[in-house]
A and B are shown apart, each in its own frame.
Chain A
Amino acid sequence: MRTRARTAGAGTSPEPGAADDRARRLHGDSGPADRLFRAVATSGGSLVLAVMLLVGGFLTYRAWQALRVAKWSFLTTAAWEPDAHHVGIAAVITGTVLIAAVAIVFAVPLAIGTALYISEYAPPRLRRTLISTIDLMAAVPSVIYGLWGLFFLQGKVIGLARWLSTYFGWFPLFKVDNADPHDPLATATVYTASTFIAGMVVAMMVTPIICSIIREVFSQAPVGEREGAYALGATRWGMIRAVVLPYGTGGMIGGTMLGLGRALGETIGVYLVISPVFEIQPHILQAGTSSVSSLIALRYGEASQFGMSALMAAGLALFLMTLVVNFVASSIVARSRSGATAE
């Protein structure tokens, strides 16, 4: 009897014929130290929530002046003329989403490829070096990426942008106005300072984040199933397709969305590259785009009260958007970590 009570605590099933025995209730209170720790952890957690709420509340409070004037047209106006009380986020939100989308298109294949190589192919010694290199990439300040994009990348990408717009210009996203590829003296500046280039710069910044999450998920693919796949005669690639990728689907989606959350809020890298325009600009290869965060950085010195309030309103919109994206992302990541998608 005594033995059973001890083993029940360890999680084995009760012996048959002992229906009158109820499972002993476990309680975790083991002294003041534990309670103290619990209190600290709880208050830390709720502090984070409180800070988030305060940020949201502050933004709403400061944005109220502009929102009251602009009303719902704040969402549909493209112009940004705070002096004339004519402001809206239609253009900047479009720009933000397009830049983030371009960034994700470039970053995700790169990140998945890197993560697969690190977790499945790289020799162990190289693996450690590669992991720290990726972490280092995440630690590089975004102004460095911005300057690199402005002074180096932009000149190299123009050729690709021109090629895309010349041969795929019939697709609305790739159209470039005022560009004549048949005029040898036409300026190449119409292909610079665009959504495309800003997106590529942001891609460099979000790749390490996406990569480290995906790598983590890949490396958690169950060893037993890997061995099983090999035992059934799978090649390494066959094993990856059969085990690692299905297991990591949730992680890939979650990592992508976390990357998207950062891409939406990226400021300095975008600020340095783009040439801001305040109209809805769906042509990603064409000069001129805008994003919420770069708008805030550019106009932060705005003299008027209303202008500041309008910037706060734009910030609020971005805040809510990234909050939603990150929330969805973390819930997907959490689900995938539990192994729910591993069957």
Chain B
Amino acid sequence: MKKIRAAAASLALLICSLLMLGPAPTASAETYARISGAGSTWSQNAIDQWRREVAQYGMTVDYTGSGSTDGRNQFKQSTVDFAVSEIPYGMTEFGVREAPPTRGYAYMPIVAGGTTFMYNLKIGGKRVTNLRLDDATVAKIFTGVITNWSDKEIATENPGLTLPNRKIIPVVRSDGSGSTAQFTLWMSKTQGAIWNSYCAKLGKPTPCGLTSYYPIRPGSGFIAQSGSLGVAGYVKQNYAEGAITFVEYSYAIAAHFPVVKVENAAGYYTEPTPSNVAVALTKAQINQNKDSTQYLTQILDNVYSYRDPRVYPLSSYSYMILPTKLETPLTEAKGKTLGAFGYYFLCQGQAQATPLGFSPLPINLVQAGFDQLKRVPGVVPQNINVAGCHNPTFSTDGTNTLVKTAPYPKACDKAGPQQCSDGTGGAPAPTQVKPAANGSGGSSGGTATSGGTGSGTSTGGTGTSTGGTSTAGGSSAGTAGGGGSAAGGTGAVDPDTGQVIGDGTGTGDSTGTGTSAQDITASSVTVGDESFWGLRTWLMGLSALMLLAVVIVPPTLARRFAGGAKKGNS
């Protein structure tokens, strides 16, 4: 007993001493006023990371990811100390120009990144991770021109994949968003005709430039969700197979989902790795006029057309909108916090960008950012030697290290008959491609002819209950069963459903190399019953009746027996 008590006492002492030690460093550190901001969800993953890190210095930075539009609006209405937005004030959307705020403001780039297309697609129950699309196809998907994954245009760009006959579900943002603005800006510049005809169909004025609110037609199968987390979270659900959305790269990484490799001007399909984004943004035109309110804002036209094979075309910078006048709600104390926070993320914070899926700022923008911070009232200027920031773009000779060391894409990423099997985004698992597109020579093509053996059991469609079943590839299933010769896979086919049992021995994916038939990839699906008055309906009715009987019969019987017993007694 004594021992226990002694142990408890020492434990308590230990806790007390820890508690006393714990707050000591912060107590001696500087005090910071709490600041709040709102805006972009595109760069929210980076901002949240930085906020967590500066908390150790006693800084409390509140940030609400409510969309760039809302952030700019809240800054304008003086409800937040700073905003984060992908696009500056003064853009014209559907003929309405956004008025700049009356508050003093300035832009400061915070991080770079790529707007990606995250998708949820499976072939034969396996996730596709190497899909690639060019700009026209992307635009057609998001304007409802291409509505099926088995579309010919998608197939020609993905020679290694047998895409399923599944509906494409474009998922767009429902709130006012900078991601939407960046994406529609890119569409309007590179695929103006497709985008304009979509706008015209919806009764919007053309030419239709960028917009923060993606217009959708009711009943078109598009889904709109709020926030980057909302769209990414929707796409990754199991039921959302066939969905595709535009979202920052970091969300795809966090969701462990692949992103589309987009074709750049050099004819290579690339993904927005930090180095590809850095290469692309070397061509971004940054406003260098220090007197302009638009100082440091970006014009991305040259990024879209930059002919370097490493470029990811939808790269852009994200901006913080800083207050430059001592007006409500800004105070000197808040300015000090904002400055310290800014110095932190422009310097050390940039090293965190890469693992999250963003790209760090180049040295010139970091230095310009430092200068912009000095304009915030209350900032304590710091003389930071950028060499000590561990920013991956910095080098001693002034060149951008990240750009210099950026790897060139593989040969199989070039537009053409070959396709890389490597995974993308947060899904590094490779996707098996057809031997013909594999790039490892034609020899493997010859070995796969066994795909034609099929099995005799599946002849004639086998007639039993769930006849007329379909597998991926739609109508081709029936013919495969009937012919009994062109069925994919290695033999065993379920006689009831016509599906290939198991995943085969690896040759299942490399079906039908002969000239004979369409490729067939078996995907296990549940098949609905054909008629309304089928077995299922009767069973449902029966179970409903039985449930009712369980409730009603026992009391009825009991009452009757009880009544009988009473009569017998009397």
Q: How far is the CA of A178 from the CA of B99 in the complex (A)?
A: 41
> Would you call B67 an interface residue if the criterion is a C-beta within 8 Å of the partner chain's C-beta atoms?
yes
Which listed residue, A166, A167, A272, A287, touches B226 by the CB 8 Å rule?
A272
> Would you call B526 an interface residue if the criterion is a C-beta within 8 Å of the partner chain's C-beta atoms?
yes
Q: Which stretch in B165-173, B327-335, B546-554 binds the other chain?
A: B165-173
> Would you call A189 an interface residue if the criterion is a C-beta within 8 Å of the partner chain's C-beta atoms?
yes
Q: How far is the CA of A183 from the CA of B164 in the complex (A)?
A: 13
Pairwise interchain contact A301-B224, C-beta atoms closer than 8 A: no
Pairwise interchain contact A276-B169, C-beta atoms closer than 8 A: no
> Would you call A177 an interface residue if the criterion is a C-beta within 8 Å of the partner chain's C-beta atoms?
yes
Given A81-B203, A83-B96, A192-B239, answer yes or no on A301-B525 (Cβ-Cβ < 8 Å): no
Residues on B with beta carbons closer than 8 Å to the beta carbon of A190: 221
Which residue, of A188, A272, A281, A303, has the highest number of chain B Cβ atoms within 10 A?
A303
Residues on A with beta carbons closer than 8 Å to the beta carbon of B540: 167
Q: Can you list 15 A-B pairs with a CB-CB distance of less than 8 A? A: A83-B204, A83-B205, A166-B528, A167-B532, A177-B219, A184-B469, A186-B167, A187-B167, A187-B241, A190-B221, A193-B225, A297-B175, A298-B175, A301-B212, A303-B93
Pairwise interchain contact B233-A150, C-beta atoms closer than 8 A: yes
Q: Is the interface of B mostly helix, strand, loop or mixed?
A: loop
Residues on A with beta carbons closer than 8 Å to the beta carbon of B67: 301
Q: How far is the CA of A150 from the CA of B525 in the complex (A)?
A: 25
> Would you call A304 an interface residue if the criterion is a C-beta within 8 Å of the partner chain's C-beta atoms?
yes
> Would you call B70 an interface residue if the criterion is a C-beta within 8 Å of the partner chain's C-beta atoms?
yes
Residues on B with beta carbons closer than 8 Å to the beta carbon of A281: 218
Pairwise interchain contact B167-A275, C-beta atoms closer than 8 A: no
Q: How far is the CA of A185 from the CA of B98 in the complex (A)?
A: 44
Residues on A with beta carbons closer than 8 Å to the beta carbon of B530: 182
Pairwise interchain contact A299-B176, C-beta atoms closer than 8 A: yes
Given A184-B526, A281-B218, answer yes or no on A83-B95 (Cβ-Cβ < 8 Å): yes
Pairwise interchain contact B176-A178, C-beta atoms closer than 8 A: no
> Would you call A279 an interface residue if the criterion is a C-beta within 8 Å of the partner chain's C-beta atoms?
yes
B196-224, CB under 8 A of A: which get 1 and which 0? 00000001110000001100101101111
Residues on B with beta carbons closer than 8 Å to the beta carbon of A182: 528-530
Given A155-B237, A275-B224, A277-B218, answer yes or no on A83-B527 (Cβ-Cβ < 8 Å): no
> Would you call A181 an interface residue if the criterion is a C-beta within 8 Å of the partner chain's C-beta atoms?
yes
Residues on A with beta carbons closer than 8 Å to the beta carbon of B225: 150, 193, 272, 275
Closest to B242 in A: A187
> Would you call B438 an interface residue if the criterion is a C-beta within 8 Å of the partner chain's C-beta atoms?
no
- Which of chain A's residues 180-212 have a Cβ closer than 8 Å to chain B? 181-193
Closest to B215 in A: A81
Q: Considering only CB atoms and an 8 Å cut-off, how many residues of chain A contact the other chain?
A: 45
Residues on A with beta carbons closer than 8 Å to the beta carbon of B563: none
Residues on A with beta carbons closer than 8 Å to the beta carbon of B73: 300-302
Q: How far is the CA of A94 from the CA of B530 in the complex (A)?
A: 35
A325 CB to closest chain B CB, in angstroms? 26
Q: How far is the CA of A265 from the CA of B238 in the complex (A)?
A: 31
Q: How far is the CA of A90 from the CA of B212 in the complex (A)?
A: 24
- Which of chain A's residues 83-139 have a Cβ closer than 8 Å to chain B? 83-84
Residues on B with beta carbons closer than 8 Å to the beta carbon of A37: none
Given A275-B225, A301-B67, answer yes or no on A187-B233 (Cβ-Cβ < 8 Å): no
Closest to A156 in B: B239
Residues on B with beta carbons closer than 8 Å to the beta carbon of A287: 223
Residues on B with beta carbons closer than 8 Å to the beta carbon of A277: 216, 218-219
- Which of chain A's residues 53-92 have a Cβ closer than 8 Å to chain B? 81, 83-84
Given A83-B95, A150-B230, A301-B72, answer yes or no on A184-B470 (Cβ-Cβ < 8 Å): yes
Residues on B with beta carbons closer than 8 Å to the beta carbon of A167: 532, 537, 540
Q: How far is the CA of A181 from the CA of B175 in the complex (A)?
A: 31
Residues on A with beta carbons closer than 8 Å to the beta carbon of B213: 299
A201 CB to closest chain B CB, in angstroms? 14
> Would you call A171 an interface residue if the criterion is a C-beta within 8 Å of the partner chain's C-beta atoms?
no
A265 CB to closest chain B CB, in angstroms? 18
> Would you call A278 an interface residue if the criterion is a C-beta within 8 Å of the partner chain's C-beta atoms?
yes
Closest to B71 in A: A301
Q: Considering only CB atoms and an 8 Å cut-off, how many residues of chain B contact the other chain?
A: 59
Closest to B524 in A: A184
Which listed residue, A192, A274, A300, touches B70 by the CB 8 Å rule?
A300
> Would you call B243 an interface residue if the criterion is a C-beta within 8 Å of the partner chain's C-beta atoms?
yes
Pairwise interchain contact B174-A276, C-beta atoms closer than 8 A: yes
Q: How far is the CA of A248 from the CA of B302 in the complex (A)?
A: 71
Q: How far is the CA of A297 from the CA of B226 in the complex (A)?
A: 10
Which listed residue, B95, B223, B238, B528, touches A193 by the CB 8 Å rule?
B223
Residues on A with beta carbons closer than 8 Å to the beta carbon of B469: 184
Residues on A with beta carbons closer than 8 Å to the beta carbon of B175: 297-298, 301
Q: How far is the CA of A270 from the CA of B242 in the complex (A)?
A: 24
> Would you call A154 an interface residue if the criterion is a C-beta within 8 Å of the partner chain's C-beta atoms?
yes
Which residue, of B166, B219, B240, B530, has the highest number of chain A Cβ atoms within 10 A?
B219
Pairwise interchain contact B239-A158, C-beta atoms closer than 8 A: yes
Q: How far is the CA of A304 from the CA of B93 in the complex (A)?
A: 10
A167 CB to closest chain B CB, in angstroms? 7
B152-180, CB under 8 A of A: which get 1 and which 0? 00000000000011110100001110000
Given contacts A178-B219, A187-B241, 7 further A-B contacts (CB under 8 A): A83-B94, A150-B230, A187-B242, A189-B221, A275-B174, A278-B218, A299-B213
Pairwise interchain contact A189-B470, C-beta atoms closer than 8 A: no
Pairwise interchain contact B216-A185, C-beta atoms closer than 8 A: no
> Would you call A259 an interface residue if the criterion is a C-beta within 8 Å of the partner chain's C-beta atoms?
no
> Would you call B41 an interface residue if the criterion is a C-beta within 8 Å of the partner chain's C-beta atoms?
no
> Would you call B97 an interface residue if the criterion is a C-beta within 8 Å of the partner chain's C-beta atoms?
yes
B519 CB to closest chain A CB, in angstroms? 16
Pairwise interchain contact B223-A192, C-beta atoms closer than 8 A: yes
Q: How far is the CA of A181 from the CA of B224 in the complex (A)?
A: 23
Residues on B with beta carbons closer than 8 Å to the beta carbon of A151: 233, 237
Residues on A with beta carbons closer than 8 Å to the beta carbon of B95: 83
Q: How far is the CA of A25 from the CA of B72 in the complex (A)?
A: 65
> Would you call B472 an interface residue if the criterion is a C-beta within 8 Å of the partner chain's C-beta atoms?
yes
> Would you call B119 an interface residue if the criterion is a C-beta within 8 Å of the partner chain's C-beta atoms?
no
Pairwise interchain contact B528-A155, C-beta atoms closer than 8 A: no
Q: How far is the CA of A332 from the CA of B385 in the complex (A)?
A: 71
A42 CB to closest chain B CB, in angstroms? 34
> Would you call A145 an interface residue if the criterion is a C-beta within 8 Å of the partner chain's C-beta atoms?
no
Pairwise interchain contact A301-B70, C-beta atoms closer than 8 A: yes
> Would you call B234 an interface residue if the criterion is a C-beta within 8 Å of the partner chain's C-beta atoms?
yes
Q: How far is the CA of A184 from the CA of B219 in the complex (A)?
A: 21
B340 CB to closest chain A CB, in angstroms? 29
Pairwise interchain contact A189-B218, C-beta atoms closer than 8 A: no
Which listed residue, B69, B219, B525, touches A185 by the CB 8 Å rule?
B525
> Would you call A288 an interface residue if the criterion is a C-beta within 8 Å of the partner chain's C-beta atoms?
yes
Q: How far is the CA of A81 from the CA of B203 in the complex (A)?
A: 10
